[in-house]
Amino acid sequence: MARYRVTLEYAGTRYSGWQKQKNARTVQGEIERAIAEATGQRSFEFQGSGRTDAGVHALHQVAHLDIKLRVPPETLRRQVNDELPADINLLRIDPAPARFHARHAAVARSYLYQVSRRRSAFAKPYVWWVKDGIDADRMRAGAARFAGMHDFRSFSDDDPEEKSTEVLVEEVTVAEAGDLVLIRVGGSHFIWKMVRRMVGVLVEVGCGRLEPEAVERLLREDTGMPARLTAPASGLFLERVFYPRDERRLPLVPAFALATGWPGRP
């Protein structure tokens, strides 16, 4: 067996998340099926850097693959892509050291959320259309209060008795791109539904229904408000998984160019 690093993208709309499940269609399940079809092998390991929930997309998910290759990695990439549905695409397959582990070796992750200020005929699966007016400056004032180490128990459905809900948030950036408001959240790791609830709270701030200072109160108090404000999965992308020596300073731009004229990623 040799180990390979796999970089991939997917639209999560039709899938019940990343992780393979017995009775649901998932991204990991589709890729493992495609690898088996392309190689004829049934004995291999394919593991991602982390899970994404149902409906969540990825621009640069990373996984490791342990398999006996009979063809060059680039040939395998093309063969597996031929077996995959159009909404999953392997970008690269590269040889990796045996010690490389897609999840354990990652040092940081960033998520991108796209809020649309207008209705779109093309982008509905990839944005959250908010009909009310949004003040991005108010959102930036609220976003600044998320930075640092905080207990996000009220921003997650994870049980704090079973799993730590303390997370170091390194970056929460709000930018505007035409009719889009972009929110990037970066940190070492994230817990279940955390980013979508952060976005929901920031949109409430942007719409004037919460003050920016309310973020501090919601972090201190174990309240159900963030859960009620959970943003839809449609606008959320796993933007990047970072490993040692990776460049961390990336431009904050939309996920991809759309027919609406929104700018795309470089």
Active-site residue identified among 53, 66, 87, 179: 53
Topology at the third CATH level for domain 2-95 = Alpha-Beta Plaits (3.30.70)
pLDDT of residue 257: 59
Q: In the structure, what pLDDT confidence band is assigned to residue 263 with cuts at 50, 70 and 90?
A: low
Per-residue pLDDT tens for 146-193? Answer: 999 998 888 887 666 667 889 999 999 999 998 999 999 999 889 889
Contacts of 234 (CB under 8 A, 6+ apart): 13, 55, 124, 125, 126, 127, 128
Is 158 known to be catalytic?
A: no
Per-residue pLDDT tens for 18-71? Answer: 999 988 999 999 999 999 999 999 899 999 999 999 999 999 999 999 999 888
For residue 261, pLDDT beyond 60 = no
The C-alpha atoms of residue 225 and residue 74 are separated, in whole angstroms, by 48
DSSP-derived 3-state class of residue 143: helix
Mean pLDDT of 61-83: 95
Mean pLDDT of 228-243: 96
Q: Where are the domains of the chain?
A: 2-95, 108-242
Q: In the structure, what pLDDT confidence band is assigned to residue 259 with cuts at 50, 70 and 90?
A: very low
Buried b (16+ CB within 10 A) or exposed e, 10-28: bbbeebbbbebeeeeebbb
The C-alpha atoms of residue 78 and residue 93 are separated, in whole angstroms, by 10
Matching fold, domains 2-95 and 108-242: yes
Class of domain 108-242: alpha beta
